[in-house]
Amino acid sequence: MSNQYSLNDTVDAIVIGTGAGGAPLLARLAAAGLKVVALEAGQYWDPKKDFPTDEVGQDKLFWNDERLSAGTDPVPFGSNNSGIGVGGSTLHYTAYTPRVQPDDLQLKTDFGVGVDWPISFDEIATYYDEIEHFIGVSGPSEYPWGPARKRSYPMPPLPINGAGQLMERGCEAVGIKTSLAANAALSAGRHQEGLGHRAACANRGFCQAGCNVGAKSSMDVTYIPLALSKGAELRSECYVTQLVKNSSGRISEVVYLQNGQEKRQKCNYVFLCAGAIETPRLLMLNQLANSSGQVGRNFMAHTGLQIWGEFDEDIRPYKGIPGSVISEDTHRPDDADFAGGYLLQSIGVMPVTYLQQMARQRGLWGEAFKQAARAYNHVAGINILGDCLPYDFNYMELSDEKDGRGIPKPRVHFTNGENEHRMTAHADKIMRQIWEAAGAKNIWAYQRNAHIIGTCRMGHDGGANVVNADGQSFDVPNLFISDNSTFPSALAVNPALTIMALSLRTADQFLANRNRLNV
Amino acid sequence: MDYHYPAGTVRALLQTDDVTEATRQTLTERLEKPRRQPTFFQPDEAELLTCIIDRLLPQDNPAGRIDIVGVIDERLTGNQSDGWRYDSMPADRDAYRLGLKATDESAVALYGAPFCELPTEQQDEVLNAIQAGTPPGITWQQVPADRFFEELFAETVGAYYSHPLGQEEIGYVGMADVPTWQRTKLNDLEAREPRPIN
Ligand SMILES: Cc1cc2nc3c(=O)[nH]c(=O)nc-3n(C[C@H](O)[C@H](O)[C@H](O)COP(=O)(O)OP(=O)(O)OC[C@H]3O[C@@H](n4cnc5c(N)ncnc54)[C@H](O)[C@@H]3O)c2cc1C
Ligand code: SF4
């Protein structure tokens, strides 16, 4: 059962943040018998009671401290990119869980751009298998792309929805292969270790604003209950402000705010898992782990162009798991004039999200907008999720403006490079062809970049990277980072499954080397 | 195609067990909320914002008006953020104050009278110029017009379509999720999903 440690105890490890990067390793360290405490800025929600099926009412799931979005293609945050709460951004992730393909990890070798990963596909794949079975991923028995799998998905795919059927229809017409997608949501109820029964997906299409039945495999219903059952202590609503270094250069204490009170917890190791903006922000504020000068650099955001259309068919885009159908035929297109590639996904959408996107980019307003809004039930979309290269001009820094807590706001610079423009143009053409073949009218494009990646890059060389392949800081030996910030390249897939895999790997490497690391 | 849906659908569902208690509470509160007396906006600012929003999303629902200005005023009064802002924009409160002032400057420069006093066709031309980022007026140097338009319109749309009356207009009943959705395919509706009336 969950423990409670005193501030005078020196715990083995503090885990900061309980999202995709923090929760799996929290469970792993606790299971190994370590004294671990998780500090999470947000609340521990009870979804049945606390989650209305209402987008505005669910605003509480987003990290709403203001960030400044700069560059030619400013990246939106809040509901678009960052979560708060026990479970982090997995509380509102859409639950797409594709695996990377081996060549995703070696853009430098294959194309001469970006950097290669310091770990191999096989090292990651064993964790994929473990995670898919533990959290519950529903997917097809034969997935058409990527290397052979050890086992098929633990559960059959979720029922297809209207957008998925249209994507199948359009892709078939233009000669692109599709498959039902893998989603981290349960197609049948099942027992979850440390928690109890989890219900099957209600097909309510609301994943991006939180699952109120526990069907979505977010961290709060998977690795967090496991961690608690293995003895971890979870302190929610604890906002970390300082990592205190002692004279030997190790972090000896973590300082946080709880109910307006400052508290200090002594520790032997720190796992920083606060996400790709808050992690570098904490390091910068504490002037830590940055001898490479790379903290905050290499910021990446997936190419994520969406193509929307109106169809004669009644679709009701709020029904069914949003990411119903996938294709990876565009992983390495024959006619590509760019490095890397992308995948294609069908998208269901909640009304406020769709209509606000339309407000920002379709150009309509007044009566014309209202008419287009009344077509909501006939709307379906497809999008890409594509690689993004690291550039010098894309980075995060601290600004002079202070947020509500009196801490400098982060400013994030983002501009798509030539490679992203070419990939997006390629995808724009293909997706329009697919949607036209499927019967879409009034097609329009929503330009976007998704996911926040890469601000504390991992690699072999301490001069050019912030952490090594195990997530350990080159500068501060008892500091590890596990979240989306360590990715050396963006990858042509949604990130969460790979973040979880790296999280388990970091824990296992830590446990294996613990003696050498001298506790 | 122009679709229309029957009135009263969401309000009726809120009376049933097809919505969870949390959903009922949240949406009922929004539905029944009285019009807000602005506390952030000055009376003349609130009036101007109302004139602008009435062009951006004209309201003609006999069941009542959605208080969009009230939603914005409440957020700005509490100085709440949605997690980000364009670096090229001033802080939200300043952006609204400046954008409103600048809108009237444009109205005067283009048509010789404040925005609210213009006929709707001229109001729309002023808004087109703001949307395109090319309106006259010195204050626009402090707040980029196209971004002001985008932010204001996105917030307006959010307030309108998160309201049960706005949701009835577009035939959305996704909040009625307690029975789960078993008919997820094309043209396959459940009894509680409204059919268009055309
Ligand atoms: C709308 C949306 C849909 C998405 N859909 C998908 C999808 O379908 N598939 C996919 O793979 N990915 C998806 N993602 C992305 C995915 O959710 C993230 O990539 C992933 O959760 C990031 O994991 P992380 O560990 O880096 O950070 P997070 O999961 O964001 O966790 C960071 C945690 O740290 C906490 N924290 C931060 N600072 C502090 C502090 N100072 N003190 C204490 N705690 C702190 C935060 O509150 C948060 O809980 C989606 C994201 C969004 C926004
Ligand atoms: S679609 Fe399924 S997994 Fe997603 S929020 Fe709804 S019930 Fe949960």
pLDDT in tens, A320-351: 999 999 999 999 999 999 999 999 999 999 99
Q: What is the pLDDT of residue A517?
A: 60
What is the number of the ligand closest to the CA of A48?
2
Helix, strand, coil percent content, chain B, rounded in steps of 5? 55, 0, 45
Among chain B residues, the shortest Cα distance to A211 is held by B177
Per-residue pLDDT, B132: 98
Q: What is the ipTM of this complex?
A: 0.98
Verify whether the Cβ–Cβ distance A314 to B186 is below 8 Å: yes
DSSP A455: T
Question: Residue B8: inside a domain, yes or no?
Answer: no
In a domain, B107, yes or no: yes
Q: Does residue B96 lie in a domain region?
A: yes
In a domain, B100, yes or no: yes
Q: Which residues of B touch A359 (CB under 8 A)?
A: 150, 153-154, 156-157
Please name the member of B20, B23, B185 whose beta carbon is closest to the beta carbon of A161. Answer: B185
The answer to whether residue B117 sits within a structural domain is yes
% of chain A residues with pLDDT over 90: 97
Q: Is the pLDDT of residue A519 over 70?
A: no
Q: From the CB of A391, is ligand 2 less than 6 Å away?
A: no
Residue B103, in any domain of the structure: yes
The three-class DSSP label of residue B159 is helix
> Is 80 exceeded by the pLDDT of residue A279?
yes
* Residue A123 near residue A109 (C-beta atoms within 8 A): no
Tell me what the mean pLDDT of segment A107-121 comes to. 98
pLDDT class of A518 with cuts at 50, 70, 90: low
Q: Does pTM top 0.95 for this prediction? A: yes
Amino acid at A17: G
Contact list, A82 vs chain B (CB under 8 Å): 83
Q: Residue A516: pLDDT above 70?
A: no
Partner-chain residue, chosen from A69, A80, A160, that has the shortest CB–CB distance to B85:
A69
Task: Say if ligand 2 is within 6 A of residue A207 CB.
Answer: yes
Mean pLDDT in residue range A93-108? 97
pLDDT in tens, A222-241: 999 999 999 999 999 999 99
What sign has the CA pseudo-torsion A398, A400, A404, A406? positive
Say yes or no to pLDDT of A413 above 60. Answer: yes
Based on the structure, what is the number of domains in chain B?
1
Q: How many CB atoms lie within 10 A of CB B157?
A: 27
Domain membership of residue B81 as a residue range: 37-170
With a 6 Å cutoff on the Cβ, whether A21 touches ligand 1 is yes
- Report pLDDT for A1: 73
User: Is residue B175 a part of any domain in this protein?
Assistant: no
Residue A124 has pLDDT above 60, yes or no: yes
A215 lines ligand 2 (CB under 6 A): yes
Nearest residue (by CA) to ligand 1, atom 9, is A96
Could you tell me if B175 and B27 are in contact, meaning their C-beta atoms sit under 8 angstroms apart? yes
> A476: buried, middle or exposed (CB in 10 Å: 19+, 13-18, 0-12)?
buried
Can you list the residues of chain B whose pLDDT is less than 70? none
Structure tokens at A422: 């070419």
- In chain A the domains, ranked by start, together with CATH numbers, are 11-50+82-518 (3.50.50.60)
Q: What is the per-residue pLDDT for A367?
A: 97
Nearest C-alpha of chain A: how many angstroms from B113?
A: 22
Instruction: Please state, for a pLDDT cut of 90, what percent of chain B lies above it.
Output: 99
> Which of B99, B39, B44 has the alpha carbon at shortest distance from B71?
B39
Q: What is the mean pLDDT of residues A61-87?
A: 94
Q: Could you give the CA distance from residue A100 to residue A128 in angstroms, rounded to a whole number?
A: 10
Which of A54, A77, A377 has its CB closest to that of B84? A77
Using alpha carbons, list the distances in angstroms from residue A338 to A298, A299, A334, B180.
Answer: 19, 19, 11, 43
Query: Does B47 map to a domain?
Result: yes
